[in-house]
Structures are given as structure tokens and as C-alpha cells.
Structure 1
Amino acid sequence: MTPALRSTLVLTLASLPVAAQATNGYFMHGSSVKAQGMAGVSLALAHDSIKSASNPASLIALGSQYDAGLTFFDPNRSADINVNGFGLDGHYDGNEDGPFWIPEAGFARRHNDRLAYGLAMYANGGMNTSYANNPFSNFGSSGSAGVDLSQMFVTGSVAYKLNERHSIGAGVTYVYQRFAAEGLQAFDNAGWSSAPGSVTNNGYDSADGWGLKLGWQGQVTDSLTLGASWSSRIETDRFEKYSGLFAEQGGFDVPESYGVGFAWQVNPRWTLAGDWERIEYSEVKSVGNAFPANAPLGASQGPGFGWQDIDVYKLGVIYVASPKLTLRAGISHADQPIPASQTLLNILAPGVIQDHASFGASWQLSPKQSLTFSYTRALEEKVKGQNSIPGMLGGGEANLNMSQNIVGVAWQYRF
């Protein structure tokens, strides 16, 4: 990562709140605006150069092009606390910050009939909450409460065509992420944390790391294409300012993910496609460890958000209405990452969304240029707590609620 590119990423993150509680847990449901219009379906398709973030093998089918887009992300997140012995009962609105803007950009170039390469910049995930009415105030916290995690990814990829029907791809991913927490003073002491003073209200801290992507696409029949992709766990630097909050002294790695997909061209106008994706949230201790734990916050075995691994199922269609107009639609369903017993700490990160419904369209402005639009409704989801607030914190239940509206627009230029 050159100093110039790193500076560009830092300035982008500083000027835009690029991610805020994304949709499949804290992963985005689609890596580009075209994929978002199909609820994220992408592994056996060749949408655009940004989609190489999902499957680098798709680059060989793209040709040469530039892509740029912007997504408007509007989450509605809230929590309710009931029957708490410390008097925290009430409704808490976590929408003091937002909506948010998520940029994307990329290019792909076909070197020859067998080799292509490209670069994609995108936001894969994040989380954000801001509660003006602090849910932890009666525990000893003050001011607004919330967290802000933004993640920007850059993936450089190369694809090779093995023969007329099969291609493989590999990519190297750089991630830059920043994080801040506020209003958690109740946990900033030796009774709760292994590093008091490194829990809350320390401003933004940053971390980065590198990972690997591998992919394959194969046209197994004249009408059926299959795809598979794997993204390694990305081990990042620690958030040192929050070494007393996140397990492993501020660790917050990016989980491993992988999936398979199909695209069936029913006829020249209709294509039916679907993906299955697996996200291994539990492997990252700061995400997967349960709260409370037998160790303090920030310790190697300290509490996390208690998230489970999830499977995501996506199904979409493409309809070529005319030489200039292509329509898309899709639905997806994901497992619930947050168990009912883990809702208290997840007031800060209520990534409970499970179902999406999307539609989109691309308009060919000229032989070289096109515009794409997508809209996604992340359907309202609630998780009711069960034994979610420990007795030492007054007992009772914390309930989580979230819905989202997501609108994207993108431009593509072929050369």
C-alpha cells in the first residue's frame, strides 16, 4: 500500500461516514450497486469491476471498464429494556447519527484473451449507533452512548482463463478501519476491564491488515454458470485506544467468508441466479465471545458481542427488457447472528437484519456508458432478549430492533 493510496483512504474515511451497521451482520449485502439490485447475488455473474471483491475470477468476462458508485444507507436502530432492577426500563433510539454515504470505485482491464486484472475499492462492513439517551446511564455512564466502526477495502485481483469455459482468480485485499466508542464509562474500571482508560471516549483509532481472495467461475453447460469464492480472515492491527474494550487487547479482525453460486440463463432475456455465503463471525474473539465472560473486557478470553456464524441465501433475476434497459430483482435471507442471550452489549451493534428485498435497473446511455440504480429494503427485524441482562446489572431483558433503506447509483464506462 503506497503512502499516497493510504492517505487517500484515510481522507475518504475522514470525510464520509462510509459504513454504518451493514446488513448481513455487519457485512454489506452486496459488493456493488448492481449486486445490491439482486439482494447481493454475484458469485456466478460478471456485474462490474467492483464485483471482483466477491469473486476475482469474474474479471475475465468483463472486458475493460471503469466503475464508480455511491450508496445512501439509512438504518433505523433502537432498543428497549424491560424489568431492570437499576431503573433502565424504556425505549432507546440509536439514530442520533446518520444517514450515511458509502462510496465504491474500480477498474478492470483485459490484458489478452486469457488474462485480466483489476482494482476495487469498497466498504464491506461497519457498525454505528448513537444514543442521546444513554442506555447504560444508571450503571454510571454519561453523555451519548454508541460506537462507530468504518471499514474501507481495496482489492487488487488477477483472473486467468483456463479454457473456453473455466476461469480462476486471486486477489490481495487491504483493509483500513477506524473505530470510536463513547458513553461506556460504567465499564471503564478495574472491575470490568483489563485496561481501564482504554474503554471509551478516546476518539478515533485506526487499524489495518491484509488478506487473500480466491475464486472460480465455470460454464458447466451452455446455459448454466457456477461460481465459488473464498476470502481469508484478515488479521489487523489492534485498536490500542480501545485495548480495554475489545477482546485480545483491542483486536478486531475481519472474519473469513466463502460461498458458491449459480447463474442459469433461462433464455436470452431471463437469467435466474443465486448464492450461498458463510460468514465465520465466531472466529474473531471480539465479535464471537459471549458477554459476560470469565475474563474482563480486553482480555484474550474477554467478552465480545456473542455473534454466531451465519449462512446467507440469495436469489435474484435479471431481465433484459431492451438493448438499453436491464432490470434486476432479488431477495435474501440470513441466519440471526445475535442470540437472544446476547442482546445487552449488542445495543451498541444491533446487526439483527435477516431479510432483504431489492430491485434495480441499468440504462445504456451509449455503447460505452451506462447508469445503474438499486433500492433495497432491509425488512424490520426484532430480537427479544432471554436472560440477556446479568443479575449484577439488575436483570431484565434488552430487546433489539432494526430496519434499513438502501439506495445506490453507479456509473460504468467501457473502453
Structure 2
Amino acid sequence: MTATTRTALTLALAAFPLAAQATNGYFMHGSSVKAQGMAGVSFALAHDSIKAASNPASLIALGSQYDLGVTYFKPKRSADISGNDMGGGYSLDGHYDGNGERDFWMPEGGFARMHSDRLAYGLAVYANGGMNTSYEVAPMVFGSGEAGVDLSQAFLTGSLAYKVSERHSLGVGVTYVYQRFEAKGIQNFAAMSSDGDAVSNKGEDSSNGWGLKLGWQGQVTDTLTLGASWSSRINTDSFNKYRGLFAEQGGFDVPENYGVGFAWQINPQWTLAGDWERIEYSDVHSVGNSFSMLAPLGADNAAGFGWDDIDVYKLGVIYAASDRLTLRAGVSHADQPVPSSQTFMNILAPGVIQDHVSLGATWELSPEQSISVSYTRALEEKVKGNNSIPASFGGGEADLEMSQDIVGVAWQYRY
């Protein structure tokens, strides 16, 4: 790798903590700009070196290349509370806008290299998850002042792929994750905590950890390729400054996820591809535990955001319009991670998006270089609360709403 590329990847990793988003829960819908252009479809394809983050076996089909890109992310999130009575004539009822911070940038970078006809290796730097809310006017039951949370995650995956036969390859990747978190304006939760001094307004905190990825790609017929990938749960260090907020004294691990996909080349111009992905949110106590848990915040089995595991279904097409222009499109649908009974706590983390519609294109500048663009609309989703606000908080319902616009551009150099 050249000094220029090393510098670019270092700068990208340094910038990642500034990126926060929420798509399939808080996982990004696609690991690279090309994948985003078809709603994240990737397991059986070989888009670019960054895509090895979703299936390291794809490195064999890439050849040698460098990739750099950036995605602009603009979420719109809000909450409505109705039927609340805190007593003494005070109510939380009203509309709350969580868009104090509106614009986010997410860089990406990577390289792939063929060591031999059978062995390839690579490195990918990318964002896979995050969550941000910023309520300039928030329900006073949370605390005082501007309220919200900011979770950002940056991933670096080094991968090896081996061609076990003419049509099949296996891949393994080691992933390092760096995540950053901050909460503010939720001081009143200290009364529910095992450590009330470590709940809110403690500034930024960080944690990190390591995980494993395994992948397979196989061309089962002349026109059909299949793929499968698994990413382990990543046990990270605790957010010590927020050990009184998250279960397990500040624990916030990255959940296990896995999936399978297909790519069917209908003819030389058209390819139809699809993925199924599973994300195991409920196994991470700080994310999956119900808000109604009796243990105090910060305890081993304390209340969390109450998220369910989700299945994500993606379908996309690739059209080779000419030797220089490739077009992409895709749609995806995910299960709802936020149950209607858990909407109150998720005013702080309204990751309720279920449906994405995407368009993308690649223009070949030369035999070595190309530029790719993508646009994704995460369709507006609303989750209405059902017995969502506990009586101790005045009862009533909290409704959540979110939509997103996502635009990406990337450059690729093949050698």
C-alpha cells in the first residue's frame, strides 16, 4: 500500500467517530457506496474492497484495487407524547423534534490485493452503526437542557480469501471496532440507576473490541453465484463514564449478525441479486433488555432499549448499460426492532426505519478508474406506542417517527 493510501485510510478512521446514523436498527444498510446503490445487497457480489466487510470471500473476485468514498446522511427524527399526566396539572404531551444535529458524513476506504491466483488479502475501513438524537426541547422528565444521545462506531476489517476450487472461495476477517458515546440532558434517570453519577452529561466516552468474520462465495452454475457470511458478536470494553446508564456497568457490545445471498446473471446486461440478513440485537443487554426490567440502570440485567432481533430482506438489480456505465437499483425491508411497548425510552434512539429504496451508478473514467454514486431514501416510518409510558412517568403513549436521505460517492482505482 502506498503512503498516500495509508494516509487516506488513517484520516478516514479518525473521522469516523463524527458519523452517526440509523438504518436497519443502528446498522448501516450497505457497507459501501456500490452496495448502498442497491439497498445493501452484497453477500454474493464483489462490489469493491470495502464490501469485504460483509463477505471477506469476495476478495478473490476483485483483483487488486483501492477504494475511497464518503456518504452524506441526513436523518429526520421526532416523537409525540399524548395522554400523559404527571400530576399537579403537568403533562409531557407535545411534539418533540430530535433534529438539533441534522447532517452527518461517513468516509470509507479500503484496498484489495491478489497475492497469487488463489490467495487475496485486503483492508476495509467503514461505519456499520450509530445513533444520534438531539432534542433542543425535550420531555422534562428526562432532565434539563438539550437532551439526546450520540453513538458512533468505526470498523476496520483485515481479510484473507482463499480460492479452494475454480468456482468456490472462503474468507476470514478480523475486525477492530472503535465506538464513541455521549448522553446529555437525561439526568433524571440517575434516580433509577445503580450509579447515579455515571448516567448523563459526562462528555464523550469510548470503547473498543475485536471480532471475527467468516464468508463463502460459490459459483454454483454458469449464471448463479451464492454467498454466505457470519460476523461474531464483538465484546467491547465498557463505557465507564456511563456505567450507571447501560446494563452490565456500561456494556455496549456489537451484536452477532449473519446472512446469505444470491446473484443471478440473467444475461450479459442484467443481474438480479438478493440477500437475507439477521441481526441479533436482543443478545446485547443494553440494547435488548426491556425498559420494564426491575433491576436498576447499570446493573447486569438492567433496563435497556427493548429492541428485538430483526431479519432484513434485500433485492436489487444491476444493468450494464454500456462498457462504461453500470446502473443499480434496490429495495429492502426489515423487521421492526422497536416494539410498540418500548417507544418511551426509544425517544432517545428512534431506530424505527424498515424500508429503503436505492439507486446507484458507476462510470468508468478509464480502464483503471471509476466513480460510483448512490442515493437511498429510507421511507418514513412511525411506531405508535402501546402501554409505552410507565405509570411512574405519568402514563400515556409515545409515538416515534423517522425518515432518512443518504447520498454516497466513491472512487476506485484498479491495478
Query: TM-score, normalised to structure 1's length?
Result: 0.96
> CA-to-partner distance for each residue in 1:212-241, whole Å, 9 max, x for gaps?
000000000000000000000000000000
Residue number in structure 1 paired with 2:328:
328
Aligned partners of 1:102 and 1:37: how far apart in 2?
Answer: 15
Distance 1:8 1:271 in 2: 35
Give the Cα separation in 2 of the matches to 1:301 and 1:7: 38
Matched to 1:161, the amino acid is: K
2:130 is aligned, of 126, 131, 137, to 126
2:104 alignment counterpart:
100
Give the counterpart letter for 2:272 in structure 1.
Answer: L
Q: Which of residues 11, 15, 23 in structure 2 aligns to 1:12?
A: 15
Q: How many residues matched?
A: 405
CA contact (8 A) 2:9 2:125 kept: no
Q: Give the SS at the match of 1:330.
A: strand
Structure 1 residue matching 2:312: 3-state secondary structure: strand
Query: Is the 8 Å Cα contact of residues 9 and 152 (structure 1) preserved in structure 2?
Result: no
1:289-318 CA-partner distances (Å, limit 9, x unpaired)? 000211011110100000000000000000
Q: How does 1:56-205 map to 2 (within 5 A)?
A: 56-86=56-86, 87-135=91-139, 137=140, 139=141, 141-189=143-191, 192-205=192-205
Q: Give, in angstroms, the shift of residue 371 of structure 1.
A: 0.1
* SS of alignment partner, residue 134 of structure 2: strand
Q: Give the distance between the partners of 2:29 and 2:10, measured in 1 at CA.
A: 27
Kept after mapping to 2: 8 A contact 1:252/1:284: yes
Distance 1:9 1:319 in 2: 31
Contact 2:20 2:130 in 1 (8 A): yes
SS at match of 2:282: helix
Q: Distance in 2 between matches of 1:402 and 1:256?
A: 25
SS in structure 2 opposite 1:131? Answer: coil
Corresponding position of 1:387:
387
1:159 CA displacement: 0.2
Q: Does 2:307 match 1:307?
A: yes
What amino acid sits opposite 1:383 in the alignment? V
Q: Is the 8 A contact 1:275 1:313 kept in 2?
A: yes
- 1:5 Cα deviation after fit: 11
Aligned pairs (5 A) from 1:10-49: 11-13=14-16, 17-20=18-21, 22-49=22-49
SS at match of 1:59: helix
Q: What is the root-mean-square deviation of aligned Cα atoms in Å?
A: 1.3
Could you list the runs of 5+ residues in structure 2 that have no partner in the other structure?
1-6
The equivalent of 2:3 in structure 1 is none
SS of the residue aligned with 1:302? coil
Structure 1 209/9 Cα, relative in aligned 2: closer, same or farther at 3 Å? Answer: farther
Q: Does 1:410 align with 2:410?
A: yes
Determine the C-alpha separation between the residues in 2 that align with 1:77 and 1:377.
14
Shift of 1:134: 1.4
Inter-CA distance 198–393: structure 2 relative to 1 (3 Å threshold) = same
- Where 1:378 maps in the other structure, the secondary structure is strand
Q: Which runs of 5+ in 1 are unaligned?
A: none
Given residue 141 of structure 1, which amino acid in structure 2 is its aligned partner? G
Q: After superposition, give the CA deviation of every residue in 1:65-122 in whole Å (9 maximum; x if it has no partner).
A: 0000000000000000001112100000000012100110000001111000000000
Distance 1:5 1:160 in 2: 27
Distance 1:51 1:110 in 2: 16
Shift of 1:13: 4.0
Question: Which whole-Å deviations, capped at 9, do the CAs of 1:9-48 have from their partners, x for residues lacking one?
Answer: 774246xx2122x200000000000000000000000000
Relative distance call for 1:62 and 1:215 in structure 2 (3 A) is same
Match of 2:221 in 1: 221
**SS of structure 2 residue aligned to 1:66:** strand
Q: Identity over the aligned pairs, expressed in percent?
A: 73
8 Å CA contact retained: 1:376, 1:405: yes
- The whole-number CA distance in structure 1 between the counterparts of 2:10 and 2:373 is 30
User: Secondary structure at the residue paired with 1:236?
Assistant: coil
Change (3 A) 1:6 1:194: farther
Q: TM-score, normalised by structure 2?
A: 0.96
Q: Contact between 1:375 and 1:405, CA under 8 Å: does it hold in 2?
A: yes
SS of the aligned residue for 1:235 comes to coil
Cα distance in 2 for partners of 1:240, 1:308 equals 25
**Alpha-carbon deviations, 1:265-312, whole Å to 9, x = none?**
000000000000000000000000000211011110100000000000
Q: 2-side partners of 1:247 and 1:194: how far apart?
A: 10
Question: CA–CA distance in 1 between the matches of 2:318 and 2:231?
Answer: 26
Gap change, CA 1:375 and 1:7, over 3 Å in 2? closer
Displacement of 1:8 in angstroms is 5.5
Q: Distance in 1 between matches of 2:189 and 2:357?
A: 39
Q: Which residue of 1 aligns with 2:4?
A: none
Q: Provide Cα deviations, 1:298-342, integer angstroms capped at 9, x if missing partner.
A: 110100000000000000000000000000000000000000000
- Secondary structure of the corresponding residue to residue 123 of structure 1: strand
2:360 partner amino acid: G
Any conservation in 1 of the 2:16–2:107 contact (CA below 8 Å)?
A: no
CA–CA distance in structure 2, aligned partners of residues 351 and 386 of structure 1: 17
